[in-house]
Structure 1
Amino acid sequence: MAADAPKIMKPEQVEDVTGLESSVEKQSDGGDAVVDVQQEDEKISWRLGLAFAALVFQVICYETTLLIPSTILSYIEADLGPDPSYTWIANAWSLCAAVVVSIAGRLGDIFGRRYFMLCGSTLAFVGAIIGATAHGIPQMIVSGIFFGIAAGIQETYYACLMELVPYKRRTFFIGLGCVCALPALISPLIAYAMMDHYSWRACYWYMCAIGAVSFLLLFFFYNPPNFENKYNGTKNRLELAKEIDYVGLVLFTSAGVLLLVGLNFGGRAYPWKSTETLVPLILGLVLWPAFGVWECYTKSKLPLMPTRLFRNIRSFVVVLVVCFVSGMFYYSLPVLWPKETALFVPASETIRRGAYAALTNIGTWVAGISLVLIFSRLDHERWQIVFCLVIQIALTGSLASVGVNDNAQVVVTVFLLSCFVNQPLFISFSIISLALEDQADIGVASGVLSTIRLMGGAIGVAIYTTILSNVYTPRLIRNINEVVSATGFPENETSVLLKAAVANTAAAYKAVPHITSEVITLSERAVKKGNLYASGVVWLTAVAFGGLSVISACFIRSTPRSRKTATRAVKLQNELSTVEASRDE
């Protein structure tokens, strides 16, 4: 390999490098200090700083395409609907991103990451244009698919970032990236502000601009090692393309898509026992073990999921288990918080609703600050994760006791909960990356972690929405019957009042015969009580998943301090060019 070709080092190799440096220092003439290679690696050049800014903008782009459409979904449906499939505008993001992120991570490991990331920004840009000019829900769903595929590619940001920064500062930079992504985290508030002055289409033009800027920043400032330097001329793209595990790729994609489609159909678009739900669900569940068997017992030169990753039980497999279960735990928040926001904030107060919607994201920002200032400076990652999960369990249990007048308790508790939600995921990225036998696997390893967490979240959402529908409806019927008994409302018109309560709008109540202001007030309170009761059951279910995640986390192996060195896995292409130019001089 050429002297200036980027070498992807294993963390354990660093001790040998350190010993060599010490030896060289001792042999230096006249006692002059020799520049320490590790110190030079740790130094953050301005080129790396610009690359970091370009990568952070990928986070802003994919988070914005997730948060804004889900925030304004009801407004889109009101304008372009009615269409019962409108929820797929948001669901398509999760489905596509969960499947694509692992594939993009693996292909980036093989071919290089630059052009994949540029492709992700381009797809986000196109998806935003499709959404901004759409004239129907089907076009909006296509926009969501573009966003999801783009997000899956852009979420390989974690691999892009971690391989460029010093090993010991990976957690720090992940946290710093979260802090710098504040524009994405407040995007629900931005969306509501745009809705207040313009329309939902303005939000899509805003996302279009973000996609364009993210592409330009990548194009000019993100230059990881190119294909020639990765292989030093020993391979060409066609040869590698022939060696890719296409059967594994088809099995993985099919299993992921079918399972997620079945989970999204069940209890929402179709009953759980319907053919439309069971067929994709069962096929997905069958194809997952088939994919595992294929990867284990075939001799593909470039398998989609290298089995060597799964030999590391405590620093990889157990981390995946924790992320899967904590994903089920975490996604109780995005399922329930929008519902509770609607209960406590009138629909007419769009800016206030935007502030409530952004509350959990501001908590994520605080979590990023805590990573930069506290967690990245500590060892014992296992206990850091356990600590955060225990805090989450305690606060989630508190939410199960919320009453109809406990607005302040809800806001404070949800904010505090959000401040401890993301540290386990971010720390997990650092753990698995530093435990790899070969840093060339960092893309697929981080991609699998993202897929597992999103899969766990999808299963959690399916469970939570089923519980909500099964618990809320009978509770609402009971509460409305109590309203009828207390107010003397005609019993033969109870079904009409119940239908209005389900809609819970001023227009629906106004259409009910013999309605009075007292009946409306008590009915609205009955709706709130029914929702909070059902939410309480879901919060308690989430606590159970949280307990499982804590037990699993106790078996994680913390990263040995010897692996937290100042070495970088790779350097930017323009950094290498600078070194070569200085040598020529």
Structure 2
Amino acid sequence: MYESYLFTLIMPAAILAYINADLGPDPKYPWITVCWNLGAAIIVTVGGRLADIFGRRWFLLTGAVSAAVGALVGATGQSINQMIVSGVLFGFGGGFQEMCFACAQELVPNRYRFATLGIMILANHVSSFGPLIGYAFITYTSIGWRACYWFCFAFESATAIMLWLFYMPPSFETKHEDDYKTKWQLVKELDHMGLWLFTAGCLLLLLGLNWASVTYPWSSAHVVAPIVIAFACFIVLGFWEVYANLKYPILPPKLFVKWREFTALLVVCFVAGMLYYSMNVLWPRQSSLLFVPAGDTIIRGVYANMVSFGTIIAGWYCVLVMPWVGHERWQLVTLICAQTALIGSMASIGINDKAQAIATVVIVAACNLPPSPLSFGMVSLGLDDQSDIGVAVGLISTFRLIGGAVATSIYVSIYTSRYQSNITPILHRLTQDTGYTGSFQALLKATAANTQATYAKVPGITPETMQAAMLAVKTSYVGAFRLVYLVAIAFGVCAIASALSTRSVEKAKKSNEQAVRLETEKENILV
């Protein structure tokens, strides 16, 4: 399940340009992947809370089936709108499937929770090659990018079958064998107002952030209004959760008052999401502009995969180091300090610094992933009531995804505006001695596409001017990305401060106690 949900996240994002070229062009095409973040960020917390109450089996099966249907819709898609529907289904399913971190932890003795999380992270070796696999499908199969969706369909279908056959967590009857409550009684006790406020707040915030600088300017009502209304929803939600007499609050106040065991970790994961998802957005663009030969699809896939190569290294750390050394607080601090310093190193990368860029990106990604499983384990073992594990771990995932959306919006806005302010003076400086006598505005317009075919159509252009214009584009983007990485350092400092305020898990909590047992496991014990 973990692998299949990662494929639905990684592969469509890697091949987005090819989908738009085939079915578009349509300016809405980024929403094919934006919808994944929208859906998953909301569903993982809401679904986690509902699964805490009603049992997890059917929610996970719903996630797998939804994602399989989404893959089928995408594989047969004939328009960008249909592909967006596929992305919505992926996000809905992915939100339920991201509960896997809570599901796995509650099934093992507490002392093995970190080891279990490490094994899950190590298991993402296959999906880590998702971008490269996607580019290979495009290059070597007759159906091109559609093969990626059929691949996801096969994975999700296998997931659904395996969940049906083997995953038998505590049923509804088992979870409520002491209170004798019916499903209808629990439905009436749900935090309906909290669910709506949380869903509306997350949805509006993510919509506003994804529209900003891409579809509409930051000052547009389309951006400002959703963000303002979202914050109003969150403020009302906070008062509601604290002062309403709720049996099952969507955001349990008892969690948020525990700064060192919970709230500080939300901040850590929020900023970790800002660094991780920004790398997934920025690095493919940066590498394709500066280092990838034009038209070389496979090499582009290799460069796009560099972040995933770092996650492979992180998987081995999570298995061989994370569970056994303890001192989770200091692991967090060390990892976040390292990635913040290396993000600063990314600011010094120029056109000819390919080796430095590759090494830095891989190591940053390797340092960025472990704080998530560390936080999952620290939060779960810090709970007073293990029946809250779904919503607690779900909130960690939600904050990580929202952090990624915030970072993507901020970073895209920064590098776009800085590039636009850089390109005119740099282009003028580099082309003034190349013998170009045509319109400067025509040449400036051609830099938007930055291809030889586009430049060849500019009247009066010379080979020297073309080379100078391409160099001007690269130089302008180097300055734009430098500013983005310098801004990212500030967020890293916030994460370091939050990590320092956390608390390592007490050894007494790493016991042989186990939160729940599979229904089949209980049957074996009885026999």
TM-score when normalising by structure 2: 0.97
SS at structure 2 position matched to 1:405: coil
Query: What are the superposed Cα offsets for residues 313-338 of structure 1, whole Å, 9 maximum, x if unpaired?
Result: 21111111222233223333112101
Structure 1 residue 519 and structure 2 residue 443: aligned?
no
**1:281 CA displacement:** 1.4
Q: 1:310 aligns with which of 251, 256, 261?
A: 256
Partner of 1:30: none
Partner of 2:39: 96
**1:217 CA displacement:** 1.0
Asked if the contact 1:332–1:542 (Cα under 8 Å) also holds between the matched residues in 2, the reply is no
Partner of 2:482: 536
SS at structure 1 position matched to 2:28: helix
**1:68 CA displacement:** 0.7
**1:347 CA displacement:** 4.2
Partner of 2:518: 572
Q: 2:65 aligns with which of 102, 122, 127?
A: 122
Asked if the contact 1:484–1:494 (Cα under 8 Å) also holds between the matched residues in 2, the reply is no
In structure 2, C-alpha distance between the alignment counterparts of 1:539 and 1:332, rounded to whole Å? 10
Structure 1 residue 431 and structure 2 residue 378: aligned?
yes
Partner of 1:60: 3
Structure 1 residue 387 and structure 2 residue 330: aligned?
no
Q: 2:394 aligns with which of 425, 441, 447?
A: 447
Structure 1 residue 299 and structure 2 residue 209: aligned?
no
More displaced stretch, 316-325 vs 214-223? 316-325
**1:175 CA displacement:** 1.3
- Would you identify which runs of 4 or more consecutive aligned residues in structure 1 move more than 4 Å? none
Aligned residue type for 2:404: G
| 1:66-215 correspondence runs (5 A) | 66-198=9-141, 199-215=144-160
SS at structure 1 position matched to 2:433: helix
Query: What are the superposed Cα offsets for residues 514-565 of structure 1, whole Å, 9 maximum, x if unpaired?
Result: 2222111121111111111100110111111111111111110111111111
Asked if the contact 1:128–1:205 (Cα under 8 Å) also holds between the matched residues in 2, the reply is yes
Aligned residue type for 2:507: R
Partner of 1:489: 436
| 1:174-573 correspondence runs (5 A) | 174-198=117-141, 199-232=144-177, 234-343=180-289, 344-490=291-437, 493-573=439-519
**1:357 CA displacement:** 1.4
Question: In the comparison of the two structures, how many residue pairs are matched?
Answer: 523
In structure 1, C-alpha distance between the alignment counterparts of 2:74 and 2:433, rounded to whole Å? 49
Query: What are the superposed Cα offsets for residues 264-318 of structure 1, whole Å, 9 maximum, x if unpaired?
Result: 1111100111121122111111111111111111112222122221221211111
**1:346 CA displacement:** 2.6
Query: What are the superposed Cα offsets for residues 122-173 of structure 1, whole Å, 9 maximum, x if unpaired?
Result: 0000001111111111111110000001111000001001101121221111
Asked if the contact 1:194–1:203 (Cα under 8 Å) also holds between the matched residues in 2, the reply is yes
* Structure 1 portions without partners, runs of 5+: 1-57
In structure 2, C-alpha distance between the alignment counterparts of 1:379 and 1:493, rounded to whole Å? 65
Query: What are the superposed Cα offsets for residues 439-472 of structure 1, whole Å, 9 maximum, x if unpaired?
Result: 1110000001111111122111111111111101
Asked if the contact 1:332–1:539 (Cα under 8 Å) also holds between the matched residues in 2, the reply is no
Query: What are the superposed Cα offsets for residues 50-96 of structure 1, whole Å, 9 maximum, x if unpaired?
Result: xxxxxxxx111111111111111001111111111111001111111
SS at structure 2 position matched to 1:85: coil
Query: What are the superposed Cα offsets for residues 327-381 of structure 1, whole Å, 9 maximum, x if unpaired?
Result: 2233331121011121211342111111111221121121111011112101211
**1:204 CA displacement:** 0.8
In structure 2, C-alpha distance between the alignment counterparts of 1:357 and 1:376, rounded to whole Å? 30
How much identity, in percent, do the aligned residues show?
A: 43
More displaced stretch, 453-462 vs 157-166? 453-462
In structure 1, C-alpha distance between the alignment counterparts of 2:132 and 2:375, rounded to whole Å? 29
* Structure 2 portions without partners, runs of 5+: none
SS at structure 2 position matched to 1:486: coil
Asked if the contact 2:419–2:477 (Cα under 8 Å) also holds between the matched residues in 1, the reply is yes
SS at structure 2 position matched to 1:84: coil
Aligned residue type for 2:299: R
Asked if the contact 1:335–1:464 (Cα under 8 Å) also holds between the matched residues in 2, the reply is no
In structure 2, C-alpha distance between the alignment counterparts of 1:169 and 1:457, rounded to whole Å? 29
Aligned residue type for 2:293: P
Asked if the contact 2:68–2:152 (Cα under 8 Å) also holds between the matched residues in 1, the reply is yes
Whose radius of gyration is greater, 1 or 2? 1
TM-score when normalising by structure 1: 0.88
**1:218 CA displacement:** 0.6
CA RMSD between the two structures: 1.2
SS at structure 1 position matched to 2:412: helix
In structure 1, C-alpha distance between the alignment counterparts of 2:371 and 2:248, rounded to whole Å? 30
